[in-house]
Amino acid sequence: FFPTQPDGRLPSIFVLILLCVTGTYVSSSPGPLEDVVIDRYDIPRVCPREVQTGDFVRYHYNGTFTDGKKFDSSHERGAPFSGQVGLGRLITGLDRGVQGMCVNERRKVTVPPHLAYGSIGAGDVIPADTVLVFDVVLLDIWNTEDKVQTRTLSKPESCKRLVEATDFIRYHYNGTLLNGVPFDSSHSRNGTYDTYVGMGYLIKGMDEGLIGMCVGETRTIIIPPFLAYEEKGYGTVIPSQATLVFEVFMIDLFNPKDDIAVVVKEVPDTCTRKTVVGDYIRYHYNGTFQDGSGFDTSYQRNSTYNTYIGMGYVIQGMDKALQGLCIGEKRRVILPPHMAYGEKGTGDIIPGSAVLVFDIHVIDFHNPKDLIEIKVTSKPKKCNLTSEVDDLIQYRYNCSLMDGTLDHYENAPITTLGANKVIEGLDEGLRGMCVGEKRVVIVPPHLGHGENGAKGVPSSAVLHFELELLDLQKGVPDGYMFVWLGDSPDPLFPAMDLNKDLSVPLEEFTAFINLQVVEGTGRLRPGMDADGIIKDMFNNQDRNGDGKIVAEELKLKVEEDSDKARHEEL
């Protein structure tokens, strides 16, 4: 076991890394030792493997004489012994003494002289015919016939994709030697290990052990030394010929050839239009990684994400995923990193090379070129009079967002069309209606409340109106209080001068105007006090303010600073 050097000193013991084993007892006889005596004083509860002839082992030991005097110790050198069992490369007694050992087992092996260094001894260190006592702890065991071992510890119920060669993966791991001593952990660095599989970026055993894993799976991978770091080891953390044990948790995976993946969750019964490039969309989303951990959500902010589609305002994969959607549709989209934030990720939120999963709910969308949409749902058979600009109307409406929220009901507001009293799209939607008619009007945001929104109306929201026209009073052009519905009397003053006394006081003027309204030849501005309008008209014509109008005062007045004649209702 310890061949001497020419100067009689013991040789150095080199460090190797070994696999788990279970020990066996070797019986002893009373009287002079005929065989090794083994005391298994510390045996691990779990022993998946025991040392057999031909195995390679790595162990620490203290070597003493029977009086307790120490003659050698691998602990003091800081380098465990490595060698092959049963092939004559160890002293016979120790070859027998480690048979059947488990990794982490401790045993005391007493070796008689004839199974140690016999009558010759070992230089000036071990006298002839000396009984040797070795206190051994097994660190590692492996065999050249070993293969990579994998054991799944946990696995998600649904596993739609397995790791294949050329995939790029992100995973966490804890790395230990076979005796449980840790040498590395991605968790301690708070960052996943990211790499291609099956392309030589990993040790051979890890390349093999990762194949077939699911996202969310945890598995143990045991790698023999010749598929790990072999004789070289790795720095000071992985000894030569060390068996490595990895506990791996798969975070996500993708392939550089991947496109976006779309899973449609819910589609509305009616879908008259789908999103295209150039549309502006409002949607809610939950953003997660493939392991289910979230990184962002619009719901938490209580605000939709609003953007143009296909114009580079969002990541490439999302730009593509947002095309072909219906209002109200829900879908899950999976974006590979090369169509998301790539190798760099973004800030502390999204790591490099992360696959992103978005659950999307489309609230609404529109195109900046959209006009209002009108759908008549009910119309009276007789419809001789329809609403138009300047008309005074009374209507009932229910307003909601396209997802059915908001739901604002107004019983019977009154407004003048074309007078900027309501949003532009609603004003347009109320035109051309008969009293009793019902219609649905869809108003895009640029004809609604725009980017600023309004109370209860989000920015850039498409509005859904259900309208019913209750009353209609024909109006007069903006700036006028009265209009003729045909040709005015010519000459006008004699028609106004009802009693033919060549002057028209307020009472006579009022009677004349009311007569025109009754006979349908003239119209006062609706929605205002008729007497007040008529009095204003009278005062406008009574140039000298003497309380009566004469023929001369009906002539047009010309502004001194302009060559444009000022209009008069009459």
Q: Which among 3, 16, 93 has a CA at the least distance from the CA of 55? A: 16
**DSSP assignment string, 399-435:** EEETTS---EEES--EEETTSSSS-HHHHHHTTTPPT
Task: Give the CA distances from residue 279 to residues 331, 359, 460, in Å, rounded to whole numbers and listed in that order.
Answer: 18, 20, 12
| CA dist., res. 38 & res. 451, Å (int) | 85
Q: Which among 2, 20, 27, 31 has a CA at the least distance from the CA of 96? A: 27
Q: Which residues contact 353 (CB under 8 A, 6 or more apart)?
A: 168, 170, 194, 337, 342, 343, 345
CB 145 within 8 A of CB 63: no
Q: Are strands 356-366 and 414-416 parallel, antiparallel or unpaired?
A: unpaired
Residue 146 carries which DSSP code? -
Question: How far does Cα 458 stand from its chain's mean position?
Answer: 23
| CA dist., res. 93 & res. 344, Å (int) | 59
CB atoms within 10 A of CB 537: 20
Residue found under tokens 């900046």? 368
Give me 353's structure tokens.
């090379």
| CA dist., res. 369 & res. 539, Å (int) | 48
Task: Return phi, psi of residue 362, to 5°.
Answer: -80, 120
Question: How far does Cα 526 stand from its chain's mean position?
Answer: 56
Question: How far does Cα 371 stand from its chain's mean position?
Answer: 34
The amino acid that residue 356 corresponds to is L
| CA dist., res. 82 & res. 19, Å (int) | 11
Q: Which among 115, 255, 127, 233 has a CA at the least distance from the CA of 177? A: 233
Identify the H or E element spanning 284.
Answer: strand 280-289
Which sequence positions are flagged as catalytic?
173, 183-184, 203, 229, 246
- The secondary structure of 229-278, three-state, reads CCCCCECCCECCCCCEEEEEEEEEEECCCCCCEEEEEECCCCCCCCCCCC
Task: Return phi, psi of residue 496, to 5°.
Answer: -75, -35
